Structure 1
């Protein structure tokens, strides 16, 4: 939150150097500062003498809080700071206790200021030096002209709203404006040219909003793996249809006022009915003039039914684009330390799904059983006995290494390793759950050596009750 402290009474308890820094920031925000302390350092005392702030020359009294909006405890006495925090809590007043996150109900962030524009960075009081470090980085990245741009848009806000009363048209205007010559001319110091460019942009006729769909790959979960194009499209979307397994961290990158609709397919559900609903929603929202993002885990063209959805959009004459994502096999293998190809072990890699449209067994098992190739199964943890039995029956060695990656690229990632003969037993012993991806081939042995993300890989003998399992030996 940003508080409007202009001409509002704020109490600072403490009269030393820390209190002085807080007083300076509060005065810069327009607050009427009252400082309470038996003694003041010279710089604060001078402010009192100049009539800039008020002084309560005594030890802390809870009655000081009766007519203030905010209180800052900035003493070197822990007992006094606790008393201030307790008194503020009883009055439902926000309180900041310097260097004590637990006692504070509000934190004072590090700030980057460009005129009216402010970027606030907070660690919740837990890591203030990190917040300051990020502020220093942003200071070098955010141009000073942003302050003048913010002032221009503030002054012209009502004109813009009258010119474009519809929020969709207004958003389109801002996108054109901020990508156009106005910011560029301000960066060059050409304020007059920027104002002329603004007037020209305001006078232009906005294009009639037309609906469109962007098919976006969200990657396997780590928001850092989302592409820059994918991030930009998420921030332009009016409606986002997302799969159930798209991570909360990725969804948090979307525009705040976008409508989020979960369209995930549940295990055991009617997938064809769900897919038909997705098709209907895509057409409905695009025809309503909305910018729609169809957000899929991994890559939309790798077992994501992206092709089927584009066929529907094409048939209805709806404009679309595709933003690729990092598919699960590539990402999970990388985060597990498994190279999918290797000159000594694998000259090819196959991405395999368990079932086709009509179920059955569409997999070419003899081809998959050949040596010197890597298999990546997009089938979670279902059918592992079938995979083992079919591959061994068609000639793949029972000693072929595997790596089963659960929650790949996410904070809860686990990697379970072993040999093909032990595959279903090892997965069961460690209770591996979806989402999980199976990597099978000689390269999977690298997970035990090259792992770098998350805990070390687990083997069958690492299971809590492995000794009681007859086949564990």
Structure 2
């Protein structure tokens, strides 16, 4: 280990910063957040430094660096563009056994300022010892996605309750098991849902219960949960941060066929993965079995992530699944995804609405429950139709559109494997729809877009192969 990690209490302790530019300003902002008393030694300072000085948060020494400025300091930072001066500051600080950081010169440093993920009171610091700062920044970006703001609220709640927890569980082993239950249970989840009062009540209930037995299996109760995740249409860059967190916290993942391998690669490595994919006309796993599997895994105390392509609430049967979970008393959360109509249209360069061409858009599916006598009207003139699972029913859809008054000259676009490397876009007129789908052997997943905006795929092309006309 090249550096010893250390979190310093700098509240009301003096820190000297030599230099008054923007780099020094960034260091000062971090130190002020930690409650340090800052002295800045610089003839000229930035406007923000000036505000801090005027407010009394920073003391300004408008003179050249002098070694006596280090007297009484706990830390020093050299942040000038003068390498000779920075070396003088480092030498003087080291002689006084004051830790010093010299910006962009790790060999002169006796401490490093890390990349920071701040979820106070939880603070995560990342450092490469100055060897590869960009690597530390990249690591911070990855960690930022895993720890949302609710971690700060969780830390604050546990801090407020710490004395009660220690009084309730005298033995370290019992406390550890209690914290494991809390951190893996509904308290953390409730905080993520912005239900702070409910989270505190749940923690109070956990404290009032009899300490759990030591046998792990006997401690597993109906404390599991299900997170319903929309994974978007395929491009892993389109999943949300909440979806990424859920995938990294999962014990078991139930995923549909349309969830791409690249998205699943982002999940926790040791999570159990179960393919419950369904294909139109060939349901590999009936919905009832999916429901029962979610229920069984949650009742084992596991964190279940049910992953669906696109968005679970747009033709994804997500509503049916949460109704089932609610009826059986299973806690659930919902992470929306970018639905296929929005993403595939965008990757094909097609605006679903446009002031000159379409003032409304309708999402429809060729496979839906219809009440007896319900009309099959799918369109109205002046809007864009985004039709899911419609290519297999191309002839029926074409005839329905004709019956509703759409012209055979209306543009259409078929987006096959939208947002994925193998994306293919076919563009034509409604009169050619059936022949086009047959000639190019279109296979799901494919989205059918009907309306004047569909023709814009040709001029707006930006992703993948050019549209085929």
TM-score (norm 2): 0.55
Query: Cα distance, 1:427 vs. partner?
Result: 1.7
Counterpart of 2:331 (choices 301, 319, 326) is: 319
Distance in 2 of aligned mates of 1:417 and 1:447: 8
1:384 corresponds to 2:397: no
1:267 corresponds to 2:280: yes
SS at match of 1:244: coil
Q: How does 1:331-342 map to 2 (within 5 A)?
A: 331-342=343-354
Query: Cα distance, 1:389 vs. partner?
Result: 1.5
Instruction: Give the direction of change, closer, same or farther, for the CA distance of 1:340–1:312 in structure 2 (3 Å limit).
Output: same
TM-superposition CA deviations, 1:13-64 (whole Å, max 9, x none) = xxxxxxxxxxxxxxxxxxxxxxxxxxxxxxxxxxxxxxxxxxxxxxxxxxxx
The 8 Å contact of residues 352 and 453 in structure 2, kept in 1 or not, is answered as: yes
Distance in 2 of aligned mates of 1:361 and 1:166: 58
Distance in 1 of aligned mates of 2:261 and 2:373: 34
Please name the residue that 1:64 is paired with: none
TM-score (norm 1): 0.55
TM-superposition CA deviations, 1:214-268 (whole Å, max 9, x none) = 1110100001110111111111111111101100011111111111111111332
TM-superposition CA deviations, 1:350-408 (whole Å, max 9, x none) = 1111122379996632x51x221000110152011111122113210111111100000
Q: How does 1:117-132 map to 2 (within 5 A)?
A: none
SS at match of 1:215: strand
Q: How does 1:27-426 map to 2 (within 5 A)?
A: 135=135, 137-138=137-138, 169=181, 172=184, 210-270=223-283, 274-357=286-369, 364-365=376-377, 368=379, 370-426=380-436
SS at match of 1:350: strand
The 8 Å contact of residues 241 and 260 in structure 1, kept in 2 or not, is answered as: yes
The 8 Å contact of residues 355 and 362 in structure 1, kept in 2 or not, is answered as: no
TM-superposition CA deviations, 1:263-304 (whole Å, max 9, x none) = 111332358x71000110111111111111110110010000
SS at match of 2:274: strand
Q: What RMSD in Å do the two structures reach over aligned CA positions?
A: 3.9
Aligned length: 295
Distance in 1 of aligned mates of 2:126 and 2:174: 26
Distance in 1 of aligned mates of 2:392 and 2:235: 24
The 8 Å contact of residues 354 and 363 in structure 1, kept in 2 or not, is answered as: no
Between stretches 319-328 and 207-216, larger displacement belongs to 207-216
Instruction: Give the direction of change, closer, same or farther, for the CA distance of 1:142–1:284 in structure 2 (3 Å limit).
Output: closer
The 8 Å contact of residues 365 and 390 in structure 2, kept in 1 or not, is answered as: no
Query: Cα distance, 1:344 vs. partner?
Result: 1.2
SS at match of 2:363: strand
SS at match of 1:382: helix
Give unpaired runs (5+ residues) of structure 2.
1-113, 117-124, 144-170, 192-210, 213-218
The 8 Å contact of residues 160 and 170 in structure 1, kept in 2 or not, is answered as: no
The 8 Å contact of residues 246 and 297 in structure 1, kept in 2 or not, is answered as: yes
Please name the residue that 1:442 is paired with: 452
The 8 Å contact of residues 213 and 320 in structure 1, kept in 2 or not, is answered as: yes
Distance in 2 of aligned mates of 1:230 and 1:380: 28
Distance in 2 of aligned mates of 1:455 and 1:160: 61
TM-superposition CA deviations, 1:177-226 (whole Å, max 9, x none) = xx9xxxxxxxxxxxxxxxxxxxxxxxxx8997711111110100001110
SS at match of 1:326: coil
SS at match of 2:459: helix
